[in-house]
Chain A
Amino acid sequence: MSLKAFKRALWVYHLNTGSCNGCDIEILAVLTPRYDVERFGIMLVGSPRHADVLLVTGPVVKQMVPRVKRIYEQTPDPKLVMVVGNCGIEGGVFYESYNLAGPVDQIIPVDVYVPGCPPRPEAIIHSVVMAWVKLEKAEQGVS
């Protein structure tokens, strides 16, 4: 079982934890003909059970905490977590808002951060490359 097959067939589950929808639209833009991430084998799937990557947007409102944890646990190993957008990284425009349970990495372990409010589609694709680099490093660490 090669790392290449895993790297080049990432299925993505998109999880909105209370974002303003700006990042979600940019994520959809990544799938359009102009950016077309399907050429790297990346597919958007509808269920966390099928996912290899959790694409988390939003600052995690209090209501979402158990759900985010649960979705993280529902995703089969091995998995990656990518946070898209400033508000998921450190709160962004919602910084220190009364209803936040903290940025995403307070709730679940995060592998890749994509800053921007919202990040450009190129930045999201670049973060996938970063995820590949991380996977390669992890494999070298093991072997």
Chain B
Amino acid sequence: MNLLGENIWINGVIIIVGSAVLVFIGGVFGMLYRGIDRKLVAHMQGRVGPPIVQPFRDVQKLLMKESIIPDGAVSWLFTAAPFICLITSALLLLYIPLFGLQALLGGFGDALLIVYLLILPSLAFAVGGFASSSPYATVGAQREMVVLMSYEFPLAVAIVSLGWRIGHVTTQLTPPANPFMFSTIAEYPIWSLVGPLGIIGSLILVFTLLVVTSGKGAKVPFDVAEAETELAGGILVEYSGRNLCLFYLADIIKAFAMSSLVVALFIPYNLSPLVGIGTPVLAGIVDGLFFLVKVFAVMFISMSVIRTAMARFKISQVSWVYIIAMTLISLVGLILIAVDLMV
């Protein structure tokens, strides 16, 4: 399929402008959510907490600072890594449906592509760590790679089981629909396909994804790669100023994208058909707001609550949690869904 279709110029312009707008909106809402997250965590700890606009101030401040490149660093890699990290995180926003709309490039990539794309920001992150020549950063980068390999399997199990179950219905259709497409997932939500056992299985998968989201966002208890108190900032230890700001933004956008992914996979409902709003503009606004609520719910559970409730795992425990515990749990979910299909 030709990526740009018939009207190469018009579609090209739409994609470029659309990407810019999407990334901008995603970034702004991501920062807003980060502010809300910090405020809520502070409240849960009995503190007042920073104002909600704090992430915007942090970013502004970081841009005012000097960006130091250490003498021992591989300077081109060291400078390139933050850009790659931000760009690949932003790329996620183009493939995941946001605000109740279709994804901008939704026709060209599905949930499986997202699984692969999710690896890229972490890789860029690790490359930046290795390039910065600090032993702390090197240890952090190695840990990042270990964590990356650990949560990959539960993540894949969760997404593939979902697609497999939906595929049972959609491959019977004429023409058969790709069950990993977000549009198909939205059309046949898993909850309406499965029986009671399957619902339990799907809930388990949701739980797996939430825990993976927490690790993906490198939040406590899974923030072994940054581990302020033991690795002094880990991967980011040598980054300052603008480069640090890019990583900060990439992290925020990645968290937003990951939460949107959970929403798109498991809560693909829109509010407007339910309350019966017909006009497209109004329906768009309602769905957009409803999307924000859903993302907030996912972020609140997967980041704020887990972050407040737990202390950091040791690196061996992180691998154990993902490779053994979460994998087993997600496989139980898969088996429940499969059994549900048979009975």
* Chain A residues within 8 Å of B, Cβ to Cβ: 1-2, 4-6, 8-9, 33, 36, 38-41, 44-47, 49-50, 52, 74, 76-78
Contacts and interface: CB of A to CB of B under 8 A. Distances in A.
A76 to B, nearest CB: 4
B187 interface: no
B47 A8 contact: no
A136 B225 CA distance: 37
A50 B57 contact: no
A6 B56 CA distance: 11
Contacts of B54: 8-9, 41
Contacts of A49: 68, 233, 237-240, 244
A50 B64 contact: no
A78 B233 CA distance: 20
Given A8-B57, A38-B42, A76-B66, A46 B50 contact: no
Given A6-B61, A9-B58, A52-B61, A46 B66 contact: no
Interface in B143-158: none
Interface centre among B48, B65, B68 (most CB of A within 10 A): B65
A130 to B, nearest CB: 19
Contacts of B240: 49-50, 76
B49 A38 contact: yes
B48 A76 contact: no
B289 interface: no
Given A1-B63, A38-B42, A46 B232 contact: yes
B231 interface: yes
B288 interface: no
B276 to A, nearest CB: 44
Contacts of B57: 4-5, 8-9, 41
A47 B68 contact: no
Contacts of B47: 33, 36, 38-39
Contacts of B238: 47, 49
Contact of A6 (B64, B68, B228, B233): B64
Give me the 7 closest cross-chain CB pairs, A-B, nearest first.
Answer: A5-B60, A76-B66, A46-B232, A47-B233, A46-B228, A9-B61, A49-B240
Contacts, number: 86
Nearest to B48: A39
A4 to B, nearest CB: 8
A6 B66 CA distance: 13
Given A47-B233, A76-B240, 17 more contacts: A6-B60, A8-B57, A9-B57, A36-B47, A39-B51, A46-B229, A46-B237, A47-B237, A49-B68, A49-B233, A49-B237, A49-B238, A49-B240, A74-B68, A76-B68, A77-B65, A78-B65
29 contacts: A1-B60, A1-B63, A5-B56, A6-B61, A6-B64, A9-B54, A9-B58, A9-B60, A33-B46, A33-B47, A36-B48, A39-B49, A39-B50, A40-B50, A41-B57, A46-B233, A46-B237, A47-B136, A49-B68, A49-B237, A49-B238, A49-B239, A49-B240, A50-B239, A52-B61, A52-B65, A74-B68, A76-B241, A78-B66
Contacts of A77: 65-66
B261 interface: no
Contacts of B38: 38
B236 interface: yes
Interface in B207-233: 228-229, 231-233
B245 to A, nearest CB: 11
B237 A76 contact: no
Contacts of A33: 45-47
A44 B232 CA distance: 11
A129 to B, nearest CB: 17
B142 interface: no
Contacts of B58: 9, 41
Contacts of B51: 39, 41
A7 to B, nearest CB: 9
Contact of B50 (A6, A41, A50, A74): A41
B67 interface: yes
Contacts of B64: 1, 5-6, 78
Nearest to B64: A1
Contact of B42 (A2, A5, A36, A74): A36
A76 B60 contact: no
B129 to A, nearest CB: 12
A9 B248 CA distance: 14
Contacts of A4: 57
